[in-house]
Amino acid sequence: MRKYIVAGNWKMNTTVPEGVALAKEVAEKAASLPSNVELIVAPPFTHLSAVGQALKGSKVLLSAQNCADQEKGAYTGEVAAAMLASIPCQYTILGHSERRQYYGETDEKLVVKTRLALDNALKVILCVGENLKEREAGKHFDIVSAQIENVLFHFSAEDLKNIVIAYEPVWAIGTGKTATAAQAEEIHAHIRSVIAGRFGLDVAEDMTILYGGSCKPSNAKELFAEKDIDGGLIGGASLKADDFLAIASSF
C-alpha cells in the first residue's frame, strides 16, 4: 500500500527551545489529521533528542537531515546512522540538493549512506531533482533517471519498502517558484516507470514519491491531487505549524 507523507525539512533553522515549541505545536495539531497521512519533522541534529521527547505520544515521526557515510570512528563532526537510530529517529533525509551542491554529496556516497541507514533500521527519504540549467536544456528526465539508477538500483525490492523518493527540482527550492502540478506529475510518473522497469509494477505502485520545492498551503491541494504525487517534502512552510498542517490536510 502506498503511503501518503508530508515531511518538514527545517534545514539550519530554529534554536533548540524554538524547535521544541514548534514540534509541540505540530504534535498537538497533528491529532486531527486522517490516519492515512504520515507526518514527519526533520530538525537539525542538535534538536533531535529534545524534539523526539516533545513528539512522544503523538503520531509525528522524527527524521534527521543527513547521516555519515561511515559506521563510526575518527570522523570529526559526523553523525552515524546508528546514533540517529538510538535517539530514536525513524527516518533520515539523504541527498538533499543543498548537500549535493554545497557539501559534495555524490550518488556513490548516497549508496553507502542509504545502506548504513537501512542497516540501522532508519527509513530513507532520498532526494533527486534537476537544476535550472538542466531543466532548460531539456535534460530533467535523464538527470532524475540517472540519480535513481545510480543509487536505488544498488538496493533490493525489499529495501525499497523503507525508502521514499522526494522529487525536488532545484530551481523550485526556496525560490517561491513551484513546478506546476503537471510538470511535477510528469516527472513523478517517469520516476515510477524507472522503478517499475527495474523492480516491477507492484513495487513501483507501492513507492511513495514526494514533491518538494516551494510547496505551500495555496498549491499543495493541486499538487497532491496528481496520481503520482504522494505528498511533499516541505522546507520554508514547515517552520510554521499552521502552514505545515494545512499542507498535510491537502490530500
**Which residues form the catalytic set?**
96, 168
Q: What cell numbers appear for 224 in the block?
A: 497532491
95 binds ligand PEP (CB under 6 A): no
Exposure of 112 by Cβ count < 10 A (0-12 exposed, 13-18 middle, 19+ buried)?
middle
Q: What cell numbers appear for 94 in the block?
A: 539523504
Stretch binding ligand PEP (CB under 6 A), from 118-126, 156-164, 185-193, 232-240: 232-240
Bridging pattern class, strands 37-42 and 4-9: parallel
Q: How far is CA 146 from CA 46, 79, 150, 233, in A?
A: 33, 27, 6, 21
Stretch binding ligand PEP (CB under 6 A), from 54-62, 132-140, 190-198, 212-220: 212-220
CA distance 8 to 38: 11
CA-wise closest residue to 47 among 72, 6, 85, 12: 12
- Min dist CB 126 to ligand PEP, Å, is 12
Measured from the CB atom, the residue of 9 and 66 that comes closer to ligand PEP is: 9
From residue 171 to residue 190, the character string flagging contacts with ligand PEP as x (rule: CB under 6 A) and all else as - is: --xx----------------
Q: How many CA atoms lie within 13 A of 28 on its CB side?
A: 8
Measured from the CB atom, the residue of 9 and 199 that comes closer to ligand PEP is: 9
CA-wise closest residue to 47 among 33, 64, 60: 64
Stretch binding ligand PEP (CB under 6 A), from 72-80, 132-140, 198-206, 209-217: 209-217
Q: Which of 165, 235, 245, 248 binds ligand PEP (CB under 6 A)?
A: 235
CA-wise closest residue to 114 among 145, 150, 143: 150
212 binds ligand PEP (CB under 6 A): yes
* Contact positions with ligand PEP (CB under 6 A) in 115-174: 168, 173-174
* Contact positions with ligand PEP (CB under 6 A) in 10-69: none
Q: Which of 236, 241, 245, 250 binds ligand PEP (CB under 6 A)?
A: 236
* Site of interaction with ligand PEP (CB under 6 A): 9, 168, 173-174, 212-215, 233-237
